[in-house]
Structure 1
Amino acid sequence: MKKKPIERHQTLREKILENIRDAILKGSLKAGERVSEPDLAERYGISRTPIREAFRQLESEGYLTVVPRKGAVVTALTERDVEEFYSIKSILEGYAARLAAEKLTDKDIDRLKTINTRLAKLASAGDVKTFFRVHNEFHEQFIRASGNEKLLELIQQLLKKFDRLRIASLSLPGRMEISVQEHEKIIDAFESHDGDTADRLVRKNAAYGGQVLLQSMTE
């Protein structure tokens, strides 16, 4: 009997998270704009506690910055943020791919192919949200196969902090389709157990994600 309020609390929290993320990605909430706790509490008819929890998660994902005495504001993205994130991402994931190339089994590679087939369908449907989640599964599959737990932990922490950048990049026209094509080349390298090529392709894929996002920011 006591579980219902918890389930409602979690559902509302997820709804708040999704609405704020969407508003920021679509530009209806702009950099530096304040996101009001009281307004959200009134709109959803809830206390401020789940809203504060949502704000903390959105801050960890790079969407919001909580400023003392001002509250939560939309975090501004800079070109430097993009350049630094994607340069680090490319090095770490490239190294993971190099290690994984020696260890991936036929079953692992079949799994990567299955995931990429699904990504191709999601790209055709224009489903960015689901594509983003499944895209994460593809990369996590080979990063885990690297066998380096500390590397996996570092990459996961980095990605969580910059989810906003990655979704913004995948949302750009044609970006999902190109990602699927790049994955096919990466899978070929894994099948050949070619660590050098896998490293280079994964770095290239990450670098391209940063380049198209930078271009969209300057247009």
Structure 2
Amino acid sequence: MAAKSDIAYEIIKEKIIKGELQPLSDISEEALQQELNISRTPIREAIQKLSKEGFVYIYARKGTLVSPVNEEIIHAVYEVRLLNEPYISRSVCNVIDEKWLYDIKNRFMNCPQNLNEEERKDYYISLDTELHGGIIKYCNNIFLKDALRIVSDHSQRIRYRTSHVNTDYERSVKEHLEIIEAFLEKNADKVEEKTRTHIIMCQQDSLKYNTNMYRSI
């Protein structure tokens, strides 16, 4: 059974990622205790962990604020992704489960037609996270995997902050399908190239719409 602090951590982090807790908003420990029915200590432990991972800022005698999504964060997140994900994708090119690749390819190509805009956004962000996270799982370097887990969460948060103004899902789906096809072809050069191109395009989109984001405090 998961520790209460771990449960609190996952719930609070999801609220931050999906924007339920907005950048620079106050985090009330008391309100979270009541909402989650969890005592003060696990809530504080969860907040401390989120602080170490860059999701919140803790100020002595001033309280806790949700961290901003700004150009500095965007550059940092995508720098780590660009330095690592193309290399990882290349190195695991021949060991990825083809059945999983065909399954996720099918889901990228067949978004349910009855989804509203918010549900559609959730659908594609979820697939994006599953694809990139699924590839990273094949990496044998435990340090890279742990670092990219945190970066993936921040990347997901950036997507939620920008996707409401970026409706070019068609291009994003095309890029993901090209990555998947390269894996199915077991073409390591192409996998690396398509992964790098996709990450660069995502970074450009995020920076383009940065005017709609909160800036650093």
Tell me whether the two structures share a fold, i.e. TM-score over 0.5. yes
Match of residue 76 from structure 2: 84
CA contact (8 A) 2:101 2:184 kept: no
CA contact (8 A) 1:169 1:209 kept: no
CA contact (8 A) 1:100 1:146 kept: yes
| In 2: Cα distance, 1:20 partner to 1:175 partner | 24
Q: Which AA in structure 2 matches 1:68?
A: A
- Does residue 152 in structure 1 map to residue 142 in structure 2? no
Unpaired runs of 5+ in structure 1?
Answer: none
| In 1: Cα distance, 2:141 partner to 2:112 partner | 31
Tell me which of 178, 187, 199 is aligned to 1:194.
187
Displacement of 1:74 in angstroms is: 1.8
Match of residue 98 from structure 1: 90
- Does residue 75 in structure 1 map to residue 67 in structure 2? yes
CA contact (8 A) 1:96 1:146 kept: yes
Tell me which of 44, 62, 71 is aligned to 1:52.
44
CA contact (8 A) 1:89 1:206 kept: yes
Q: Which AA in structure 2 matches 1:67?
A: Y
Match of residue 196 from structure 2: 203
- Does residue 34 in structure 1 map to residue 23 in structure 2? no
- Greater Rg, structure 1 or structure 2? 1
Aligned residues: 208
Displacement of 1:93 in angstroms is: 0.6
CA RMSD of aligned residues (A): 3.5
Displacement of 1:183 in angstroms is: 1.5
- Say if 1:71 and 1:171 are closer, same or farther in 2 by CA, change over 3 A: same
| In 1: Cα distance, 2:80 partner to 2:62 partner | 32
| In 2: Cα distance, 1:8 partner to 1:98 partner | 38
- Structure 1 stretches of at least 4 aligned residues deviating more than 6 Å after TM superposition: 6-13
| In 1: Cα distance, 2:100 partner to 2:34 partner | 46
| In 1: Cα distance, 2:42 partner to 2:122 partner | 23
TM-score, normalised relative to structure 1: 0.73
Q: Which AA in structure 2 matches 1:104?
A: V
Higher relative contact order (CA 8 A, sep 6+): 2
Displacement of 1:186 in angstroms is: 1.1
Secondary structure of the 2:209 match is helix
- Does residue 139 in structure 1 map to residue 128 in structure 2? no
CA contact (8 A) 1:93 1:202 kept: yes
CA contact (8 A) 1:96 1:151 kept: no
Q: Which AA in structure 1 matches 2:48?
A: R
Secondary structure of the 1:76 match is coil
Match of residue 161 from structure 2: 168
Secondary structure of the 2:58 match is strand
Tell me which of 61, 66, 78 is aligned to 2:58.
66
| In 1: Cα distance, 2:13 partner to 2:33 partner | 13
Which has the larger share of helix? 1
Displacement of 1:115 in angstroms is: 1.4
